[in-house]
Amino acid sequence: MRWSELPGFEADALYEAWNAWLKSCERPGSTFLPLCPEVRQLSIASAAEQRSWMQTRLRPYRVEPLAGPGTDGLLTGYYEPMLPASRQPGNGYAVPLYRPPATLASRKPWFTRQEADTLPEAQAALRGREIAWLADPLDALVLQIQGSGRLRVTEPDGTARTVRLAFAGSNEQPYKSAGRWLLDQGAIKDASWPGIKAWAQQNPQRVNELLWSNPRMVFFKEEPLPDLDAAFGPRGAQGVALTPGRSIAVDRESIPYGTPVWLASDGPSARLQRLVFAQDTGSAIVGAVRADYFAGWGPDAADLAGRLKQGLQLWVLWPK
C-alpha cells in the first residue's frame, strides 16, 4: 500500500509510540533487529523526522483475512486492573489468588475452576500457594481474564505496598465468557462488567454458578513494582513491558511479535488511527485482522477496555 492510504498517518504523535518501539528493541526478532540502532537514535527526533525515516525504511502492507478483503476485523481492549488486597484472609478478604500448583505440569488440562473450588485433591494442590486475598470474587475473575494486575497489598504488620501479579500459567481449560453465559440465560441485557456486577449483587446465591461457567483459571507470580516499571504495563508475550495505547495483542500465527502496525478503528467507543506494536497475544485473539488494545491501568482504562468492541483495519510496516 501507499503511505497516503494509511488513515491519519500524518497526524499521529509518533513520539508517543517511540517508547513502545524502544521496548520492542529490547527483544527484537531477526527482521527488525537491524533497525534498532536507528530507532534508538531517533528517540529524540521530531515527529517529521521519525515519519520520514519510517517512509524511507519501511513499507506498509494491508493485513487481510484468509476469507479475503471486505471481511471486518475486530478490535477489543484489555487493561491492568488495580485492586486492594490482603496478604492474609479475613476482614472481608476471602478470595485467594494462586501461584501455579506443583501438579500443574503433570495433569493437562488441570482441574476446572469448579473442581478447584470443590474437589479435595485440587484444594490440596492449591494449599499454601496463595499470594494474596481479594474481597470480590468477580475482581479475581477480571484479574484472571486480563492475565495480570496491580495489587495494593496490606501486609500482616499493617503496612501497604503496590506489587504486580504477572501471568505464570493456566489450567489449560477453555475460556468461556461469563457475560455470554448471562446473556444466554436471559439474565441480563448489558454484558459489561458493571452490568455483570450489578447482577451478582442482586443474585449472590448464584455467583459461584456464574464463576464456574468459565472453567479457565490463571495462576500468577508476584513481581516488585518500582517507579520505573510502574510507568509501563506488564510484560507481554514478546517479553517486553507494554505501553498504554501503543501495544496490542495479536494472533502470533499472523503477525510476528515486535512488528510495528498501523491501526485504524472507528466506532462508538473510540476513534483510533495510530502506530502500535504487536507485543502480546491472548487465547481469544485469533485471526489476522484481530487485535486487543492495551488501554493501561486505572478506572479510565478499565472503562475503555470494557466497552471497546468495534471494526478494525491493520497494516504491518515491514522493512524494505
Give residue-wise pLDDT tens across range 69-101. Answer: 766 799 999 999 899 999 999 999 999 999 999
Contacts of 56 (CB under 8 A, 6+ apart): none
How many residues in the chain?
320
> Which of 90, 199, 174, 95 lies closest to 141, judged by CA?
95
Q: Is 220:97 a contact under the CB 8 Å cutoff? A: yes
Which residue ranges make up each domain of the chain? 3-77+236-319, 80-229
pLDDT at 307: 87
Domain 80-229 belongs to what architecture? Beta Barrel (2.40)
How would you classify the pairing of strands 82-86 and 149-154? parallel
> How much of the chain exceeds pLDDT 70, in percent?
99
- Per-residue model confidence as pLDDT tens digits over 35-81: 999 999 999 999 999 999 999 999 999 999 887 776 679 999 999 98
- Asked whether residue 102 carries a pLDDT value surpassing 70, the answer given is yes
Residue 284: C-alpha distances to residues 122, 188, 292, 296, 302 (Å): 26, 23, 9, 19, 18
Q: Are 115 and 171 in contact (CB under 8 A)?
A: no
CATH homologous superfamily of 3-77+236-319 equals: RlpA-like domain (2.40.40.10)
Whole-prediction pTM value? 0.80
Q: Mean of the per-residue pLDDT values for the chain? A: 94
Q: What pLDDT is attached to residue 127?
A: 97
Residue 231 predicted with pLDDT over 80: yes
| DSSP H/E element including 293 | strand 290-297
